């Protein structure tokens, strides 16, 4: 079971690297926009949309990596004072029963949203640039699929603790 977890987490880790690298073109775009606007008085027609789409892609592709690294906000009022098996049961209920089905359902809906934009050549309508919107919708869908993959990995870690294969969630990592 933990071999599968390691494979799934390699996928998640790779998406985290990609999400981190998206910051580079965002920085270049923003610096170029500021330079063009204030030095030449010639703002671009594409920087705003590239900025919000890039930041959205960064956020969406980084969700799964953030879960893998346990960096999402958690309220430890009750959770922190429980044993490893109780923590695993709480996490399993949260991940496998609540979040995973919702994330799969949302991924399917986002696939249809992406497919519609691709089929009809939908554009953003937010600026004079007006780019096609399907690449951003594809990032949305991929981000939630990656989150589903990491939720599955987290659920398997919880199961390994619940069935006695691992002593704690930290050991299952």
Spell out the per-residue pLDDT of the chain, length 173, in tens: 778 999 999 999 999 999 999 999 999 999 999 999 999 999 999 999 999 999 999 999 999 999 999 998 887 788 888 888 999 999 999 999 999 999 999 999 999 999 999 999 999 988 889 999 999 999 999 999 999 999 999 999 999 999 988 777 676 67
Are 47 and 30 in contact by the 8 Å Cβ rule? The answer is yes
pLDDT value at residue 172: 65
164's CB contacts (< 8 A; 6+ apart) are: none
Tokens of 87: 């923590």
DSSP string, 98-122: IIHHHHHHHHHHHHHHHHHHHHHT-
Please give the structure tokens belonging to residue 40.
């030449």
- 3-state class (DSSP) for residue 31: helix
Predicted local confidence at residue 78, as pLDDT? 80
What would you report as the CA-atom Rg of the chain, rounded to the nearest whole angstrom?
A: 20
What's the rounded Cα separation, in Å, for the pair 139 and 132? 13
- Calculate the dihedral angle through the C-alpha atoms of 18, 24, 29, 30, rounding to the nearest 10 degrees: 120
């Amino acid at each position: 079971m933990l071999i599968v977890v390691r494979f799934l987490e390699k996928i998640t880790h790779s998406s985290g690297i990609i999400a981190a690298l998206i910051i580079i073109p965002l920085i270049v775009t923003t610096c170029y926009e500021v330079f063009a606007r204030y030095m030449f008085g010639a703002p671009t027609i594409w920087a705003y949309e590239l900025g919000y789409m890039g930041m959205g892609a960064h956020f969406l592709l980084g969700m799964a990596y953030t879960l893998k690294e346990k960096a999402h906000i958690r309220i430890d009022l009750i959770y922190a004072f429980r044993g490893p098996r109780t923590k695993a049961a709480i996490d399993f209920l949260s991940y496998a029963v609540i979040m995973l089905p919702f994330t799969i359902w949302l991924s399917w809906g986002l696939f249809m949203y992406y497919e519609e934009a691709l089929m009809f050549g939908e554009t953003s309508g937010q600026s004079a640039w007006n780019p096609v919107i399907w690449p951003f919708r594809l990032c949305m869908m991929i981000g939630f699929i990656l989150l589903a993959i990491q939720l599955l990995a987290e659920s398997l870690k919880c199961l390994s603790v619940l069935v006695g294969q691992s002593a704690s969630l930290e050991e299952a990592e």
